[in-house]
Structure 1
Amino acid sequence: MSLSFNRPALTALAATFALGSLFSGAAHAEGKISIAQQFGIGYLILDVVRDQKLIEKHGQQQGLAIEVNWNSVSGATAMNEALLAGALDVVSAGVPPMLTVWDRTKGKQNVKAIAALGSMPNYLLTNNPRIKTLKDFTDKDRIAVPAAGVGFQSRTLQIETAKQFGNDQFKKFDTISVSLAHPDATAALLAGGSEINSHFSSPPFQYQALENPSVHKVLSSYDVLGGQATFNVLYTTQKFHDNNPKTYKAFYDALAEAEQIIKADKPAAAQTYIRVEQSKLPLALVEKIVADPEIDFTVTPQRTFIYAEKLHELGVLKNKAASWKDYFFEEAHGTPGS
C-alpha cells in the first residue's frame, strides 16, 4: 500500500493517530511497519527494499509475516509530527532534522536514527558569475533551500558560515535564504531573471542544473564536512524499536541487503529508481548519478557527528552527544560509523 500526503493532510492524520493512541496505549503490533520517504535519488536504498520486498523476505526468515505500508511525505517537519503522533513508524530526513528531533525527545519518546541512507554531496549553485565564494554573496542575492534556517542545506550553510565569519554570525545567510522545493528552485536557477539566483541543491537536481553553462558550483557539503558524509537517515522512536524487535531486525537487515544489491549492479539500481519513483529522468543521467564516485549508498553513518558537535556548539542542540552512537540505535553500532 502506498499513500501520498500533503502537509495539512498529514498533520490531520497525525492528530487522529494521537487521539487513538490515548485509548489504545500501544504502537503497531509486531509484524507491521509504516515507512515514509521523501523524493529523490537519496532514497534509492528504500526503493530497492520496496521493489524487491526485502522487509517481507527477512521477516519470513524469522517466521514473521510483515505488512509494510509505504508513504510519500514532503518535508522533515511533517515527518516528525507524524512520527511523534504515532501515524508513522519510520521516517526519513537529513541529518540535522533528525538530530533536532533526537534532541527534543531525549528522555521522552527518545527518537534515534536507524541507519544512514547514503552519503552524497549537496552543492550550493549560482547563476551569478560574480559569486565565487560565500564572501561574494550580498543582501541582493537570494539562496533557495527546501527549509530555510532549519533543513539540511541551511544547517550545512550555517556551519560553514560560522567557520568563515565566526559563531556569532552563523545565521548570516538566513536573511537571504528562501524556502523553495528543489524542482522549483532548479527551474528558477535555470530560467534566470528572478530574485532566486542561487540554490543549495541536491541530487539529481544539481546534476541537471550544472548541465547549463550559466550555472556553477560555489560550495559542496563535502567541503564543509571534510569528505564523504551522510545526507539522509531513517529514524524512529524507542517505543517502536523496543516493542517490535523482529520487525525492526527485518527492516535493518533489508536495508543492509539493499546496499549490497546496489553496489553489485549499479545500472540495475538506476533502473529500479526510475521504475519505483516513476521518474521521467533520462536513464543515462540516473546511471551517472548512481555511479558517481562521490556517492556511496551505504547504511553506515559517515561524518554525522560533525553536525552533532557543531550544532551543539552553536546552541541549536541542547543535548551534547558523546559520539554518533548516542543518536543511533544499537543495531547500527557494529558498523564503522562516524
Structure 2
Amino acid sequence: MSARGPSTLGVNFNRSKAMGAAFGIAAMLIAGQAAAEGKIRIAQQFGISYLILDVIRDQKLIEKHGKEAGVDIEVDWASISGATAMNEALLANNLDIVSAGVPPALTMWDRTGGDVKLVAALGSLPNYLITTNPDVKTLKDFSDKDRIAVPAAGVGFQSRTLQIEAAKLFGQENFQKLDQISISLPHPDATAALISGATEVNSHFSSAPFYYQALQGNKAVHKVISSYDILGGPATFNVLYTTTAFHDENPKTYAAFYAALGEAAKWINANKEKAAETFIRQQGSKLSPELVLEIINDPENDFTIVPQNTFVYATELHKLGVLKTEAGSWKDYFFQEAHGENGG
C-alpha cells in the first residue's frame, strides 16, 4: 500500500455527517422516551470495527427480520464518538442499543448491578501499540520521555488493556504505570502525529485502519505489542449493550435485532468486496477500497458476533479493583440470546 498523509486520516466521517449526528442526539435528549415494541434506537461509533452495524443499516436487516416476525420496526441510527456519551444516553433512556469497547461495557454492567448487559460482540480485531522510538521493544522500555496516545486515557479499551499487562510486568499496585505517559487523542490525530513525527506523541495504541496507515506511512513506526498478545489470543474489541428493561419489554424487536446481527456477520464473510463497499458508503470513508478489503481479509480480523476472551477483562479488571462485581462466567454479563454461542 502507498503511504497516506494526514489529509486521509479523517477517514470515518465528514463534518456534515458529524453535525447531523449531533442534531440527532440533541433531538433524542429532548425526547427522553423509552422506545416501544417496534422501535429501536441504535448508536455506533466510527471505524471498520463497526462494519456489522454498517451492513445491518445498509441492508435494513432489522426491518426485514421484524417483518418476518409480524412487526414493523422503526430504526433510528445515531453516530457518537466515545463510550461516556454512549453510556449517558443509554442511562437517560435516549438510546436503546449502544456500542463501545469491552471494558467500558463491563463497567456499565458492574455499576448498574446488572441492569445493563451485553448483547453481542462486533468482531475480534486487535489493537497494536506502535511507536517511532527505536529503543522501545517492549513495554518495559517506555520512559517518562515517551507519550502514548489513546482515545480515552485511563479508562478506555486501550488503557484498560495496558493496565492488565502493566500489572503483570510491574506488579498489581503499579497497574496504572503507563497511564502516567498516556494522553487522550483521537485515532486520526494520533496517526497523523506518528506519520509526521512532528509532535511529542511518539506512540499510539491503535485500532484498524489506523495502525495499517501508520506502519506504512512512516518507516520508523514499529509494533511493540498487540492486544491479542496481552489477552492470550483473538479477542473481542467492541460490543453492543443495552438495559434489561429494553431487552425484556421488547422481545420481538430485540429478537429481530439479534437475528440481523447474525445475518450481517455471515454476509460479510461471504461477500468481502461488497462489505468493503458498504463500509465506505455508510461511513463516508476516504479510505481506498483496496485498503478496506485488505483489512477485512486480514486473518487477524474476524467479523463475528461471538464473544471471544471477554472474560479475561472481567477477571483481570476485577482483580485490579476496576470492577467491583466478580463474574462467574461470560454469561453473567451477556443476555441469554448470546449464550448459545461458543463464546468466552
Alignment TM-score, normalising by the size of structure 1: 0.94
Residue 260, structure 1, aligned to residue 273, structure 2: no
Alignment RMSD: 1.8
Correspondence 1:174 to 2:179: yes
Distance 2:44 2:236 in 1: 16
Q: 1:116 to 1:161 in 2, by over 3 A?
A: same
What CA distance in whole angstroms lies between the structure 1 residues aligned with 2:44 and 2:29?
Answer: 20
Residue in 1 that maps onto 2:54: 47
> Among 321, 334, 340, which residue is 1:334 paired with?
340
What is the alpha-carbon distance in structure 1 between the residues aligned to residue 258 and residue 198 of structure 2? Answer: 46
Shift of 1:10: 8.4
Structure 1: how far apart are the matches of 2:293 and 2:135?
33
Residue in 1 that maps onto 2:285? 279
Within 5 Å, which residues of 2 pair with 1:1-338? Answer: 4=18, 16-17=30-31, 20=32, 27-106=34-113, 110-211=115-216, 212-338=218-344
TM-superposed deviation, 1:84: 0.3
Task: State the alpha-carbon separation in 2 of the partners of residues 53 and 333 from structure 1.
Answer: 25
- Mind listing any 5+ residue stretches in structure 2 that lack a counterpart? 1-15
Cα shift readout 1:46-94 (whole Å, capped 9, x = no counterpart): 0000111000000000111100001000000000000000111000000
Q: In 1, Cα distance between the equivalents of 2:169 and 2:21?
A: 36
CA distance in 2, matches of 1:186, 1:250: 38
Q: Give the partner amino acid of 1:140.
A: K
- TM-aligned CA deviation for residue 13 of structure 1: 6.0
Give the Å deviation of 1:267: 1.3
**Structure 1 pair 326–6 and aligned structure 2 pair: CA distance change class (3 A):** farther
Q: Structure 2: which amino acid aligns with 1:54?
A: L
Deviation track 1:222-273 (CA, whole Å, cap 9, x = no partner) reads 0000110000000000010001000000000000000110011111111111
Say which SS state the counterpart of residue 99 (structure 2) adopts: strand
CA separation of 1:84/1:328 partners in 2, compared to 1, >3 Å: closer, same or farther?
same
Partners of 1:298 and 1:68 lie apart in 2 by 22
Kindly tell me: are residues 163 and 83 of structure 1, through their superposed partners in 2, closer, same or farther at Cα, counting changes over 3 Å?
Answer: same
Q: In structure 2, the residue corresponding to 1:93 is in which secondary structure?
A: strand
Q: Which runs of 5+ in 1 are unaligned?
A: 22-26
SS in 2 for 1:173: helix
Hey, what's the Cα distance between the residues in 1 that align with 2:17 and 2:256?
Answer: 22
How far off its partner does 1:165 sit? Answer: 1.0
Counterpart of 1:24 in structure 2 is: none
Letter in 1 for 2:242: T
Q: 1:278 to 1:130 in 2, by over 3 A?
A: same
TM-score by length of 2: 0.92
> In the alignment, residue 246 of structure 1 is paired with which amino acid?
K
The Cα shift of 1:322 comes to: 0.4
Distance 1:285 1:265 in 2: 16
Contact 1:6 1:74 in 2 (8 A): no
The one-letter code of the counterpart of 2:238 is N
**Cα distance in 2, alignment partners of residues 245 and 90 from structure 1:** 14
Is the contact made by 2:21 and 2:78 (CA closer than 8 Å) also made in structure 1?
Answer: no
Query: Residue in 1 aligned with 2:8?
Result: none
